[in-house]
Amino acid sequence: MKRNLLLNPQKMEQVMADQKTQDLFNLTRDFFEQKGNFSMRIDAKSKRLPTDWYQFIKESGLFATLLTPAGYGDEDSRWDHYRITSASELIGFYGLYQYNLQVSVLGTTPIWVSKNEKQKRELAQLLKEGHVFAFGMSEREHGADLYSNEAHITPIGDDKYVANGAKYYIGNSSRAPKISVFGRNSETDEFAMWSVDCRDRHCKYCGDIEVVGMFQGQLGEFEMIEYPITSDDILETGDAAFAMGLSAVNIGKTQTSQKNVGIATHMLYEAVNHSHNRYLYGKRVTDMPHISRALLEAWSRIVMARYYGYRAADYFRQADKNKDRRYLCFNPIQKARASAECERAVILMHNVMAAKAYETDTFAETAIRQIGNSVRLEGTAHVNMSQAVKFMGNYFNNNEDFAPVPDGKMIKDDSYNMFDQGFGKAKTIKFADYRRSFEGCTLPNVKIFLDQADGLCSFNDKCPMTKVQEKNPDFALSVAEIFATVVYGQLVFEKLKLEGVEDAVIDQLFSYLVRDINSSALRQLNEYAGNFEDGQRDALAALIKDPNIDFAREEMIINDYVFALDGEYKSSYGVVIDE
């Protein structure tokens, strides 16, 4: 078998940079392998909080190590975005148990970003005690619309306040000892962010919100009722509080896509194991061309989502608020596209496994039930894509000469730059010329992809969207999808080259990106026939190009990379101690 490009926890081929992290990841793998699929099914069926998982978090020090910046915890504690991303993939491999980590990232970030040393020291101690944390932003009536939040603090004199209001759809909220809450000052109408101790009698837990598959995070609603606040509890006010909320989202929400990579990867092993060893009508199921090509596409889309996530992490780790904030484009694309690509792969594999994937002793059933949560629960595609498309003009034009971004696997505490992201408009963020990443590459599908990217650049320069079109989410979304595919391809290509992936694989992966651009362009032409400005129709039509289809190349990759996964990982059923 050629090198496996995906995570295999049972072989742990993804070696971490330091022994402490490697030991923690091995321990985490051992916990889930010993827990086994059967015990996880009991968790799901009974909709119970997985107390053994919470106990593991406490006893292993997993979250304390991952989520405590250097200087606030033990020697090996640091806020290392690469290993947090890797942990999301590893835990996600076993399902939505990762949600506890993701929400804890969101909940702890505002405190670490703040200058409130009292809150930081208390948080470090709570992490050491093994707690999980929560992030109070969404509300029942307003969702994640920050401008419409109704939760508020009211000054009552002597540097004291009271907080009132409810927060809804809050993960970990039934277990977190503290929650970072976003709202406003009721007198000044300024934004504010403060810390709430859930153990206080003025903080009322209103109950769980039942969502299929979300028992691990225990989504819930809580309400602050005349909750007493002092300056010791306030994390930030004004525009800085708004920026703090965005910083938390920028850091935390990217983890959802890497969780999806883990979920889809686990199902892929199962889909290959099942289909490659099943015979119908006297033939191996995977001898059927539509089956083998579906598995090839699923594998390809998972590989690209994985590599994009790690490359986006590379950019995030070296960001500089005064110079390089490209992550503000790359992160929403990761949240939207990489997450959705994994769901797309799961649908392909579901079609391959068919009825087998509904059986509750499979991980496939878990993947099918859970994969869509990350795509929709953590921010819909149109929200993230509408954010990303704002960068299209600067991505293609007015480029700057940034130094190449190194592989981000180094041991480094990222709190210095990641917790000081700055605040500014999208039009001020510059990019390097994306074509520089592809210099010297002559692979057929990469060249076609670059022609399409040049075509989108021409569309944006010569006949860009009008203000009316930009304000139409449906019209803008297809253009955003094309742009996102271009950015996606750049980062995927960079990571593939850094990892030394062979050219045949790269060319095959890019054949799907060419097709994706074709699909988005064709959708736009079909949906808005007769509603284009001068030149737009022709510019979009020019994006549609034939991919280079090479059946010999496909066959080689299917055999050397996809079917080679047969037997490489088999789900553990574990031992159930109690029910």
Say whether both 468 and 552 belong to one domain.
yes
Asked whether residue 429 is domain-assigned, the answer is yes
DSSP-derived secondary structure letter, 334:
I
Q: 3-state class of 225 per DSSP?
A: strand
pLDDT class for 84, splitting at 50, 70, 90?
very high
CB atoms within 10 A of CB 454: 15
Asked whether residue 247 is domain-assigned, the answer is no
Helix (H) or strand (E) holding 266: helix 255-276
Q: What is the pLDDT of residues 56-76, one digit of tens each?
A: 999 999 999 999 999 999 999
Q: Given 206, 237, 268, which residue is the final one in a domain?
A: 237
Asked whether residue 435 is domain-assigned, the answer is yes
Question: Tokens 């976003």 belong to which residue?
Answer: 182
Question: Tokens 């079917």 belong to which residue?
Answer: 563
Say whether both 208 and 356 belong to one domain.
no
Q: Which residue has the higher pLDDT, 421 or 176?
A: 176
The whole-number average pLDDT for the span 257-282 is 95
Give the pair of three-digit tokens for residue 325.
């904030």
Q: What pLDDT score does 579 carry?
A: 41
Cα(25)–Cα(22) distance, integer angstroms = 5
Give the pair of three-digit tokens for residue 428.
């001020």
Say whether both 127 and 139 belong to one domain.
no
Rounded to the nearest integer, the mean pLDDT of the chain is 92
Residues 6+ apart with CB under 8 A from 292: 286, 558, 562, 563
Lowest mean pLDDT among 20-29, 38-47, 52-61: 38-47
In angstroms, what CA-CA distances link 480 with 333, 384, 386, 393? 10, 10, 7, 12
The whole-number average pLDDT for the span 121-136 is 97
Cα(328)–Cα(379) distance, integer angstroms = 15
Domain that holds residue 227: 135-237
In angstroms, what CA-CA distances link 272 with 226, 234, 265? 56, 52, 11
Cα(463)–Cα(539) distance, integer angstroms = 8
Where does 528-570 have alpha helices with state H? 536-541, 551-557
Say whether both 75 and 125 belong to one domain.
yes
Total of domains in the chain: 3
Say whether both 278 and 295 belong to one domain.
yes
Q: What is the pLDDT of residues 426-444, one digit of tens each?
A: 788 999 999 999 999 999 9
pLDDT reading at 277 higher than 80: yes
Say whether both 494 and 538 belong to one domain.
yes
Say whether both 511 and 377 belong to one domain.
yes
Q: What pLDDT score does 284 carry?
A: 93
Say whether both 198 and 79 belong to one domain.
no
Q: What is the pLDDT of residues 151-183, one digit of tens each?
A: 999 999 999 999 999 999 999 999 999 999 999
Q: What pLDDT score does 466 carry?
A: 93
Q: Is the pTM of this model over 0.75?
A: yes
